[in-house]
Structure 1
C-alpha cells in the first residue's frame, strides 16, 4: 500500500520543486483573464503588459536586460535553441565544432550529438575531475578557432558541482565562439549575474525554483546571432515563435522574485540541512560514499549524491518509496534498460558503484524532519537491498 501523497517526504527538488504561494497566486489571477499577448486590442495589450513586466522583473533579478530574455517552454527547449541555434549561426566551412562538458544534461548532450549525426558537426566532450569539476586545461586545448559553440552547465543536476562558466565564456570569446550555460539548477539557488558572467547564452526554467512547469527562458545577448529552431508568428525576437503563456510567465516572475530575494538565507539553511543529511548517512550506513563535493564555492546548497556499495540504487529507491520518501536514482533509463549515470562515469566512478548512487535534493519546503525521516528509514532500506543483491 502506498503512502498518501500529503504525508510523503519529498527529497527530489532537483527534479522539480513545489510552486511557492506567490507563483500560484499570480498564475491563478492570470488564468481568469483572456487576451493573446500578440493581439492589438485592449485585452491583448493587457496581456502583453503582464508579459513585459514579468520580463523586466526576471531580467533584473538575473543581471540581464529585458531585451535579452527570450521566453520558452522550459529548459529543454532553451538548451536546444542555444546549442543548435548558436551552432547554425556560427557554422561555416571552417567553424564546425561543438564543445560541451561530459556531464551536461541530456538536453545539451543530445542536441550536440544530433548536430554531429545530422549536421556533420565535430563534437568534443570536455572531461571533469573526480568531483565533477571541469578540466579547464582541456577546455583551453579544445576550444579553438574551429569551435562554433561551447556549452558548460552552471551546476550539475546529479551531483550539484558548480562549474567555472566565466572562464568558459572567456575562452569562447577569445576564439569567436558562442558560449552557453545551462543554469537550470543554479538560478534562484546560488548567486548568478548574466552580464558579469561574460556568457552569450544562459538557460533557466520555472519549475526548478518554485514556478510552474512549461515555462522557461533563454538569455541571449543582443549581439549574439541565433538561428530559429521553430518557426511561426515571429514572437520572441523571431527566434522562438509561439503564443506566449501569460499565466505561466507571470507565475515564473513571481517565483524568481521570491527565490532571489531569499537566496542568501535559504542557501545557508539548505547547506546546514545538507550537512546534517550527509553526516547522518555516512555515520549510519556502512560503505556509504559521497559523490561530488560539499565545498560551498563548488556546489549547490541542496543537492547530494550518495553511493551505497553492494546494492542497486533502484532497490533502495523503491524501499524508500514504500516508506514514503521520494528521491532519485543516479541513473538514466534508455529504452527500458537502466544505464549507469554518465555524470558519475565521467567522474571516474566505476560502473557498479555508479549503479548504486541515489540523489537526495533539498528545497524550499525541506525541513529537519525530512532529513530525520530519511536517516530513520535509509539504513534498513540499504541493508535489505544488500541482502537481496547477495542472492542475485
Structure 2
C-alpha cells in the first residue's frame, strides 16, 4: 500500500506540536497578547499570570518550585547560560574545571571546547563503557581531586543510555560541586526530581515534548547565581 507521507520515528529529535498546546499558544499570540512586564493593565496582568502558571507547570513536572524556573529559547541557551555564566563569574586567574561525559550533547561539548580554547576552562572527560554508561568510581575520584562543575545528561540523545542522576547528584553534594544536568531527552519520558536528586542546573527543551520550537527552560537551584550573558 502506497503511503502519502513517510512514518515519522524521530521523536527524540523533535515532536509535532500537540493541538491542545497549539490552541493555547495561538490564544496568547492573537488574543491575550500582553507584555508580562506591563502589569499595570489587564493585558499585561493576564500575560503575567500565564507566565507564572507556565512556570508552575514546568516546576511540577520536574520536582522544582516555580521561582527556580527560568524560561529560555531551548536547552542550548540554558546550557550556555550555565557554562559561560560560570566562567564569567569565576576570577580571571582561575580556569573553571568542568568534568563532562565524552558523549554529551554538542551543546555541552562545543561550549566547553570554546571555553577551553579561550583559556578560561579545563575539560576533564569522565569514563564511560561501550554502552555509554558512566563509571561512578571515576566520577568520585575526579571530584575528590577538585573540580568546579559536573556535566552529565539524564539520557543520551544518540544511544538512549539513561544515567543514574540521583547517584551523581549525591556525589556532587558530597563534594559540594554544582551539577549541570541536560535533561532534554528525559523530561516527560522518565521521572525527574530536581529537588531531591542534587541537581543544581537542569536544562530542557519544549520541542522534545509537543511544545513549539524556540521555548525551553533552565531550572536553577535556589541559592545559586549565574553571570548574565545578555543585559537589558
User: TM over 0.5, yes or no?
Assistant: yes
After TM superposition, the structure 1 = structure 2 runs for residues 286-305 of structure 1, keeping only pairs within 5 Å, are none
- Is 1:84 the equivalent of 2:84? yes
Q: Displacement of 1:122 after TM fit? A: 1.4
For 2:153, the equivalent position in structure 1 comes to 153
For 2:35, the equivalent position in structure 1 comes to 36
After TM superposition, the structure 1 = structure 2 runs for residues 1-392 of structure 1, keeping only pairs within 5 Å, are 7-33=5-31, 34-42=33-41, 43-89=43-89, 93=93, 96-144=96-144, 146-232=146-232
Q: Displacement of 1:63 after TM fit? A: 0.3
Whether the 8 Å CA contact 2:15–2:208 is kept in 1: the answer is yes
Whether the 8 Å CA contact 2:61–2:188 is kept in 1: the answer is no
Give per-residue Cα distances to partners, 1:251-281, cap 9 Å, x unaligned. xxxxxxxxxxxxxxxxxxxxxxxxxxxxxxx
Cα 1:111/1:168, change in 2 over 3 Å: same
Whether the 8 Å CA contact 1:35–1:46 is kept in 2: the answer is yes
C-alpha distance in 1, partners of 2:225/2:145?
17
Structure with greater helix percent: 1
Q: Displacement of 1:11 after TM fit? A: 1.1
Any gaps of 5 or more consecutive residues in structure 1?
A: 233-392
Any gaps of 5 or more consecutive residues in structure 2?
A: none
Count of equivalent residues: 229
Aligned-residue RMSD, C-alpha: 1.9
Q: Displacement of 1:54 after TM fit? A: 0.8
Q: Displacement of 1:225 after TM fit? A: 1.9
Cα 1:129/1:91, change in 2 over 3 Å: farther
Q: Displacement of 1:105 after TM fit? A: 0.3
Max radius of gyration: which structure? 1
Q: Displacement of 1:116 after TM fit? A: 1.1
Whether the 8 Å CA contact 1:154–1:162 is kept in 2: the answer is yes
Give per-residue Cα distances to partners, 1:117-144, cap 9 Å, x unaligned. 1143111111211111111122112224
For 1:341, the equivalent position in structure 2 comes to none
Q: Displacement of 1:92 after TM fit? A: 7.1
Q: Displacement of 1:196 after TM fit? A: 1.5
Question: What secondary structure does 1:188 align onto?
Answer: coil
Give per-residue Cα distances to partners, 1:58-95, cap 9 Å, x unaligned. 11121000010000000110111122223444567566
